[in-house]
């Protein structure tokens, strides 16, 4: 029997496969356009892109595969039974970034204000599960009004499922949250559980309780931006790792970050062909870093001189600026850099700097990114506020992170390395694989003047000229215990380097450590200081 022709009984254009395929294409085109032109115009009027426009900027052109495009909620009551738009306010799927698979979900604010209901949550749960199963990064594009009030506790349960999956995926696949609109109440905890948070100025906010509630409870008057805007979270709270002026720049930087991360914890970050010579001499370092330990300099310029092509991505650039955390490449391979910043509080470690660096070290260790630590630290910040706010337990987070890390670890002491801060900044004694120093290094329990004042207190007090005696004893202490080869002579350094040779030595050392293997004791998990 020959196939029926279009238009014959049983295979009319309306009911046959050709007609149904055409109807499906029309339906999907309609869904892709969004609910209506008015809602799209309203989104653009706020300076915001639509969910699909955002996905198009994030992923490689033409690579997006949407999942559950036809999904609709099944809730009733409060008028929901009369309004059942496709996608239910969230677009989920996968595509590629620089040719590598990435999973994504994006709230569509044009539908229910991007609020989360049962079907909405189930779509997110499923794409999160697929990301873990496929071993690929997950990016969430957040622009939602929180839980869908009309669906009650069912919506809240949906958030519980997201939080559980965030926790289980932690350290397994990279999770990136991009805040492109409001994120209030319990919904804010999902971004907080992820590895990186991006925000856009003016249009994105995050807070647990809004300005109205804050004013009602505490009497404090504050704007949306002043309570939970991008600059607040990038500079004050430390919730946001990155803040940008517009969505296009923000999403381009997300793509750049993804290029520096592995797909999952079983892989290493992607390498690139080396164009910047591995043995390039860094003569500029001789002039960048003053030998006088009391003179400040910009550690970013040191990092720029050392890494491939001078390019690096700083994490939490504006929060706890006394320590630098950055991703870069050395010899074509991705590394994580932790460095004290002498331009800010002389590079001292405090509560925020310790927590910032600790989280970064843990992220690098989870995703097989070697660590290079650049040390120029005068100690921990003294003060009643620091002690009362828990510098002991919170500073210990950085110590715990380094001690627990099994990736290749190299430390380089440029100048000062005093007291407990020296130990915490990945010293040999806490497990650094290689420890180097420049001939300007000063490794000691404390600075020479402070040490002399303690050791020779009585002798200085009894002297005819206490100031002259103090200066002499300080010189003696420096010559005896703080000369640049003291630690190397006692096996606490692998070598003292000519600063110009630093890049070559680091690249060669990382190449040697690439096959490092380390096992931790069997345990369910550690109990890090909180």
| Residues labelled catalytic | 185-186, 420-421
Half-sphere exposure of 93 (CA within 13 A, CB side): 20
CA angle 244, 247, 251 (to 5 degrees): 90
21, 40, 106, 339, 377 from 399: Cα distances, Å: 61, 50, 37, 15, 15
Instruction: Give the residues across from 313 on adjacent strands.
Output: 327
> What's the Cα-to-Cα distance from 100 to each of 18, 59, 66, 113, 197, rounded to whole Å?
35, 10, 16, 31, 21
**Which residue has tokens 């070290």?**
361
- Across the strands, what pairs with 198? 178, 242
Element (H, E) at 461: helix 457-462
Residue 234 CA to residue 237 CA, distance in Å, equals 7
Residue with tokens 């002026």: 245
Contact 65, 103 (CB under 8 A): no
- At which residue do the structure tokens 């969505």 appear? 247
Residue 431, number of CB atoms within 10 A of its CB: 14
**H or E stretch at 94:** strand 90-97
User: What is the DSSP annotation of 353-416?
Assistant: HHHHHHHHHHHHHHTT--EEEEEEE--BPPSHHHHHTTHHHHHHHHHHHHHH--S-EEEEEEEE
Beta bridge partners of 147: 116
Contact indicator for 179, 240 with CB cutoff of 8 Å: yes
Q: How far apart are alpha carbons 406 and 412 in whole angstroms?
A: 18
């Amino acid at each position: 029997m020959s196939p029926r022709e279009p238009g014959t009984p049983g295979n009319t254009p309306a009911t046959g496969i050709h007609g149904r395929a055409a109807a499906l294409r029309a339906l999907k085109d309609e869904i892709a356009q969004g609910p209506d032109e008015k809602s799209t115009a309203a989104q653009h009027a706020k300076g915001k892109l639509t969910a699909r426009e955002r996905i198009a900027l994030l992923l490689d052109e033409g690579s997006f595969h949407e999942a559950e495009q036809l999904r609709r909620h099944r809730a009733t009551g409060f008028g929901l039974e009369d309004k059942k738009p496709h996608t239910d306010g969230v677009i989920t799927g996968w595509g590629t970034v620089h040719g590598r698979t990435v999973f994504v979900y994006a709230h569509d604010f044009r539908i229910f204000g991007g609020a989360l209901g049962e079907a909405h949550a189930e779509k997110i749960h499923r794409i999160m599960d697929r990301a873990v199963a496929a071993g690929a990064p997950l990016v969430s594009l957040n622009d939602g009004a929180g839980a869908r009030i009309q669906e009650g506790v069912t919506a809240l349960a949906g958030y519980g499922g997201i939080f559980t999956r965030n926790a289980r995926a932690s350290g397994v696949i990279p999770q990136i949250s991009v805040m492109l609109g409001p994120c209030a109440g319990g919904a804010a905890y999902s971004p907080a559980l992820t590895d990186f948070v991006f925000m856009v100025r003016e249009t994105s906010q995050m807070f647990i309780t809004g300005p109205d509630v804050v004013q009602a409870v505490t009497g404090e008057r504050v704007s949306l931006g002043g309570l939970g805007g991008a600059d607040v979270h990038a500079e004050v709270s430390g919730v946001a790792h990155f803040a940008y002026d517009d969505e296009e720049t923000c999403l381009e930087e997300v793509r750049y970050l993804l290029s520096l991360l592995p797909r999952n914890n079983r892989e290493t970050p992607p390498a690139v062909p080396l164009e910047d010579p591995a043995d390039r001499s860094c003569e500029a370092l001789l002039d960048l870093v003053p030998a006088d330990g009391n003179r400040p300099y910009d550690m970013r310029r040191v990092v720029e001189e050392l890494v491939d092509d001078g390019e690096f991505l700083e994490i939490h650039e504006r929060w706890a600026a006394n320590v630098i955390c950055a991703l870069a490449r050395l010899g074509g391979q991705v590394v994580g850099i932790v460095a004290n910043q002498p331009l800010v509080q002389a590079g001292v470690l405090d509560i925020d700097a310790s927590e910032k660096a600790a989280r970064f070290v843990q992220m690098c260790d989870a995703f097989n990114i070697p660590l290079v630590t650049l040390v120029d630290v005068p100690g921990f910040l003294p003060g009643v506020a620091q002690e009362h706010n828990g510098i002991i337990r919170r500073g210990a987070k950085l110590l715990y992170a380094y001690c627990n890390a099994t990736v290749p670890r190299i430390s380089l002491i440029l100048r000062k390395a005093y007291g407990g801060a020296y130990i915490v900044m990945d010293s040999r004694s806490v497990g650094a694989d290689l420890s180097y120093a420049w001939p300007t290094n000063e490794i000691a329990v404390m600075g020479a003047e402070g040490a002399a004042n303690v050791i020779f207190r009585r002798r200085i007090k009894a002297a005819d000229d206490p100031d002259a005696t103090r200066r002499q004893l300080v010189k003696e202490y420096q010559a005896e215990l703080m000369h640049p080869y003291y630690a190397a002579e006692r096996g606490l350094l692998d070598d003292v380097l000519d600063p110009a040779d630093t890049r070559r030595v680091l690249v060669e050392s990382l190449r040697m450590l690439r096959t490092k293997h380390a096992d931790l004791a069997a345990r369910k998990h550690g109990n890090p200081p909180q």
